[in-house]
Amino acid sequence: MDSGRPHQGEAPQDDRRPPARPADRLGRVEVGVRHLVAAGARHSVGVDDGGRVVHAGAASSGEGLVDGLTGIVSVAAGSVHLEANTGRSHTVALRVDGTAVATGWDAHGQCDVNSWTRLVAVAAGWRRTVGVRADGRAVASGRRTDGACDVEIWRDVADAARGDWHTVGLRDDGTVLAVGNDSRGQCEVAEWQGIVSVSAGSLHTVGLTAAGRIVFAGACCGAEEEMAAQGDVVSVAAGSHHTVALRSALLRQSPRRWRRRRRSVRRRRMDRRGGHRRGRRTHPRSRR
């Protein structure tokens, strides 16, 4: 008869904490990506080293009520829409126990996340919130009229991204799902493979492959072909109408470049002061 206690050699089970899911079959997709900073329409949120939320910016709609919350591992901020009358936003925080809390603008029920459990990731868009559970299923709250919340049928999801009008899901096997408004082809991602991260803008979707290349769907900024030609990208993010990529080549060059710049700045400062620290040499102009 099972006493309900863990067997010898087994760790006690905590039903509140989502179990760790194995990596995908290709070992490339990270499950439950954690975001320690997030930017909304008019506010910013972050998570400090102690798991406490910090907030800056607008708070008129209650988006700043998360300030001071503890036990947080990831944050998301909604409302990236650019229309002048949609400046209100909401904030979502993922707790260490796999539950979520949302505050702020809730006109469409986008903050209705109290019943969500066993989460590994959260994302927030305009009027909507999406969560990824430890079992690979997705949940969503908010405006449902345009289909952007129709994610309940998704399976094997590792991460998700929210745009203004659509939702994107990254699966364990590196394929991608998308639902919602497809007026510019932003949901045409069915043929994508080998994807390790996704991001969604207003009318476009961007993905990053394991080889470091960028793929696009929808309408962006007109520089998609140029960006897609790059092959050393390590991270990518979509804004409402623009895309930002971080290249590994820049990461390699930056430390050396900054060291050279610091040395140059120090030399100019010492020249202005009339001497150098090393050997206490005197600048020719200061000699008598």
Could you tell me the residue ranges of all domains in the chain? Answer: 37-241, 250-286
Distance of alpha carbon 125 from alpha carbon 167, whole angstroms: 8
Distance of alpha carbon 122 from alpha carbon 128, whole angstroms: 11
What does the DSSP assignment read for 92-104? EEEETTS-EEEEE
Q: Are strands 233-238 and 72-77 parallel, antiparallel or unpaired?
A: unpaired
Q: Is-contact 33 120, C-beta < 8 A?
A: no
Return the exposure string of 143-180: e unless at least 16 CB atoms fall within 10 Å of the residue's CB, then b. beebbbbebeebebbbbbbbbbbbbbbbbbebbbbbbb
Which DSSP helix (H) or strand (E) runs through 272?
helix 248-273
Assigned CATH for 37-241: 2.130.10.30
Q: Is-contact 227 207, C-beta < 8 A?
A: no
Q: What is the pLDDT along the chain (288 residues), one digit of tens a residue?
A: 444 433 333 333 444 444 344 333 333 455 667 888 888 777 889 999 999 999 998 787 788 888 888 999 999 988 655 555 556 789 999 999 999 999 998 999 999 999 999 999 999 988 899 999 999 999 999 999 889 999 999 999 999 999 989 999 999 999 999 999 999 999 999 999 999 999 998 899 999 999 999 999 998 766 666 777 777 888 888 888 888 888 886 555 555 565 565 566 566 656 666 654 444 444 444 444
**Look-up of token digits 């620290």:** 277
Sheet strands side by side (includes 37-39): 37-39, 43-47, 53-57
Can you say how many angstroms the Cα of residue 149 is from the centroid of all Cα atoms in its chain? Answer: 19
Q: How far is CA 286 from CA 3, 252, 267, in A?
A: 87, 40, 16
What pLDDT score was predicted for residue 89? 85
- 14 CB neighbour count, 10 Å cutoff: 10
The set of residues, in sequence order, having a beta carbon less than 8 Å from that of 242 and lying 6+ positions away, is 201, 220, 221
Burial of residue 90 (CB within 10 Å: 0-12, 13-18, 19+) is buried
Distance of alpha carbon 183 from alpha carbon 219, whole angstroms: 9
Q: Is-contact 61 150, C-beta < 8 A?
A: no
